Structure 1
């Protein structure tokens, strides 16, 4: 049978054929079957298309790496367990990055007149939501500048924005973050 007719086969058959033959087309067909569903799952979990795409790629790489190491009785259950774990890892990574932003320049993001007793945990809790509420270009430029410590020129090269746009996105993003965070007080 031709591999192009993979939609006619069950998950179990595709997995068995891959395991038996080592032919990557069988596994590729199986992964392709779930790519859009995985993307939707990761998007709902991460609320960011680029992070979701990255998570799907990581899930697919982990499937390729680990598929031989265990007996898989339900491919979708196993696949989505990997996806859930990858989304948790992405969330943790984002939290670390957000803490790095706060520590790098807390006055640029938080209210400069924050009372002495303002809890850092409160700011940590609201910053992810605040970042979700600013525009994607602002969020991307702020994360690249504060977390990855890229220069304006490097950000421009990576995103395709002009230097003037990068500077504007960072300044406007910081101002918008500050306004949003003030709403939580």
Structure 2
């Protein structure tokens, strides 16, 4: 008896139905209603990462602008989870671009002890970089490739997987194990 059901209002429509409707009709008001449901989540996440209310508000607006194109480009199965990841990535990229998130070289990122990276002596720095290169050469090829793409080329896991043909879990594993193996190699060889 479907004619006895109450009419579906936009507020009653499931997120995925609104996504599908937007993909077909490109009606920005549908996307706006969908985004409005999750705006508090996005704002809270942005505030957590950016630590500034004004920057968080700006990010909420910028993320909506990203949605206009990205919802059409991607197959979105669970909108809330997808939006969370999109928002987090947006904030991380903003921090990186604003230089609030340090983009450091592999040797600095990997938190080796200060003996391995002296700050004032360029000869010692050069020796530390050469040691890092020697240890990189000792990694298995998949680890070496993944570590280089992640730390030096600053690629995300997804892009590394697409470029290399590795699965996302393999990429994460290669980076984690490669980082550990580099640290052990540098500690063993005294930098």
TM class by shorter chain equals 0.3 to 0.5
TM-score by length of 2: 0.46
Which is greater in Rg?
A: 2
More helix by share: 1
